Structure 1
Amino acid sequence: MEDIISAERVVFGYPKEDNQLNIVLRGVSLTIPEGQFVAVLGHNGSGKSTLAKHFNAILVPNEGKVTVCGIDTTDEDKLYDIRQQVGMVFQNPDNQIVATIVEEDVAFGPENMGVDPAEIRRRVDESLSDVGMTEYRTHAPHQLSGGQKQRIAIAGIIAMRPRCIVLDEPTAMLDPKGRREVLSVIKRLNRENGITVVLITHYMEEAAQAERVVVMNDGEILFDAPPREVFSHVQELKEVGLDVPQATELCWQLRQAGVDLPGDILTEAEAVAAISDALRKKGVGAR
């Protein structure tokens, strides 16, 4: 399977007033294969958003190398090609919506790419269908909910036909319903359309639904593994200021109290089954 994104020993810092660098990424290396759904976690200042901005050349390394579909992100002549391959969705959808009609906003990217009008029409229709927003095609974006706006922002990106979408905390400003809507769209695009997804998030339940979780701490990768393995390290995650899914937390607390439960529980259903089984073994509730 081809790697969409490859980072090799990436060092990056933001300039300070004394011309020194405030180092944010400290030799980060990882690869993201095509079709994978990766969640990136980390407390504020851990480097996760800075890393995300390297994935479509918004930022480029001070040291090390990032390639996107084999293209070095420092090659300024290839920026257009890189950003065709990797689309970015940011936290505030209002910053990405540029038109006063939904379908015109979704068409904006393909129009600027010089796509044929008939193909633009097809892409707009398909993209709005992909995010479940076809019925709002003639609406004004500012009249939509936060979750709906974010789905329009995602539609605008997928209309450009990227192979990968990087989403930088896209649900941070949304209510629970909006978060569920957006996550559902992200998962479906990955599962049904094969789009590679990199989701920067601070919601543990979102990360638990990814195929792979990368945990950043102080500019370095602390964990890089499937969610079940990452979230089994409850104490280590707490020590770097992160939570775990609520079901995982509950079962961890019960294990600390001496209840015999598995250490890799992620979901409420798994927690209910495991706790019920532990109670049956102790004869609680037996008739």
Structure 2
Amino acid sequence: MEPIISAKNITFAYQSYDEKQSRTVLKDISLNIEKGSFVAVLGHNGSGKSTLAKHFNAILLPQGGTVMVEGIDTKDEDRIYDIRQRVGMVFQNPDNQIVATIVEEDVAFALENLGVSPSEIRQRVNDALKAVHMYEYREHAPHQLSGGQKQRVAIAGIIAMRPDCIVLDEPTAMLDPHGRRQVMKTIRMLGETYGITVVLITHYMDEAAKCDRVVVIDEGQIILDGTPKQVFSHVQILKEVGLDVPQATELVYELRKAGYNIPQDIISEEECIEALEKLMEENHVHH
């Protein structure tokens, strides 16, 4: 199956203001994103994860290597519009993405620019707002909404475009725990309901643990890539690059270090409880 996004040997450096120094942020990265997958890209600040994300819909172009989106080279200037219709992007700060003074007008904004017919716009806006559970706020002013609600409006604006892939660059970084949960639920629904491919850039381990695949970037290179279970079993490597692991994984890691025989690929609290109960039974410990 042809990947939806294919990055081959991409390198990218930011020039400093005086042009004397450049800082290489991506070093020969190759990565395929499969259609319909839910991929988390993890890394601490400055690791290159956001820079990589911006290559996926041609906000940035690789200085070396190529990025293909459904077979289109992102360097092809004539196809930039096609690329952005296929890959939508949601940023960290929803205030930077909201352009209109009424929620439904904001969701309709890009569609109007694309010349979609008014009746089709109406339908898509309603569908998108219902999908993110913001339909009842359609006539509200966006600035009166909470952070989580604004972020869901921003996601609705992208859903209305009907892209094949949505890249979310730390969409929950500015939200409280409740807002984070709401937005994560919405993101998960994109794949399940619409079959949209989701790339989630995050530094929250619990968010990454719920994805199909986790890619860990450090200093512009991919150091781990696999299922959450595979990636989070490398506790030592993750700690060395300044990342945490899910709490359940951390507990299991410490117990294993202390000599307890417990599986190392545990990432959820449920699995952890099950393994601890089993361990207690084996050691004849009564509750």
Normalised by the length of structure 2, the TM-score is 0.98
Structure 2 counterpart of 1:10: 10
Superposed displacement of residue 2, structure 1: 2.8
Superposed displacement of residue 180, structure 1: 0.4
SS at match of 2:129: helix
Whole-Å Cα distance in 1 between the matches of residues 257 and 139 of structure 2?
55
Structure 2 counterpart of 1:23: 24
Structure 2 counterpart of 1:164: 165
Whole-Å Cα distance in 2 between the matches of residues 10 and 18 of structure 1?
21
Counterpart mapping for 1:132-211 below 5 A: 132-211=133-212
SS at match of 2:99: coil
Whole-Å Cα distance in 2 between the matches of residues 167 and 192 of structure 1?
17
Identity %: 66
Q: Deviations over 1:224-273 (max 9, x none)?
A: 10111000000111011110001111111111111111000010010011
SS at match of 1:261: coil
Whole-Å Cα distance in 1 between the matches of residues 188 and 272 of structure 2?
23
Superposed displacement of residue 19, structure 1: 3.8
Superposed displacement of residue 21, structure 1: 2.3
Which consecutive residues of structure 1, in runs of 5 or more, have no partner in the other structure?
none
Normalised by the length of structure 1, the TM-score is 0.98
Q: Deviations over 1:88-119 (max 9, x none)?
A: 00000000001111111000011111100000
Instruction: Number of aligned residue pairs: give it.
Output: 286
Superposed displacement of residue 192, structure 1: 1.4
Q: Which amino acid aligns with 2:197?
A: T
Whole-Å Cα distance in 2 between the matches of residues 103 and 196 of structure 1?
24
Whole-Å Cα distance in 2 between the matches of residues 123 and 192 of structure 1?
15
Matched, 1:118 2:119: yes
- The CA RMSD over aligned residues, in Å, is 0.9
Q: Deviations over 1:40-89 (max 9, x none)?
A: 00011110000000000000011000011111111111111110000000
Structure 1 counterpart of 2:237: 236
Q: Deviations over 1:127-161 (max 9, x none)?
A: 00111111111111111111110000000011111
Q: Deviations over 1:172-201 (max 9, x none)?
A: 000111000000000011111100000000
SS at match of 1:27: strand
Whole-Å Cα distance in 1 between the matches of residues 264 and 104 of structure 2?
47
Superposed displacement of residue 20, structure 1: 4.0
Structure 2 counterpart of 1:284: 285
SS at match of 2:31: strand
Whole-Å Cα distance in 2 between the matches of residues 7 and 275 of structure 1?
42
Counterpart mapping for 1:48-87 below 5 A: 48-87=49-88
Whole-Å Cα distance in 2 between the matches of residues 192 and 18 of structure 1?
47
Whole-Å Cα distance in 1 between the matches of residues 169 and 88 of structure 2?
11
Whole-Å Cα distance in 1 between the matches of residues 247 and 44 of structure 2?
17
Which consecutive residues of structure 2, in runs of 5 or more, have no partner in the other structure?
none
Whole-Å Cα distance in 2 between the matches of residues 134 and 89 of structure 1?
19
Whole-Å Cα distance in 2 between the matches of residues 119 and 60 of structure 1?
33
Whole-Å Cα distance in 2 between the matches of residues 149 and 226 of structure 1?
31
SS at match of 2:4: strand
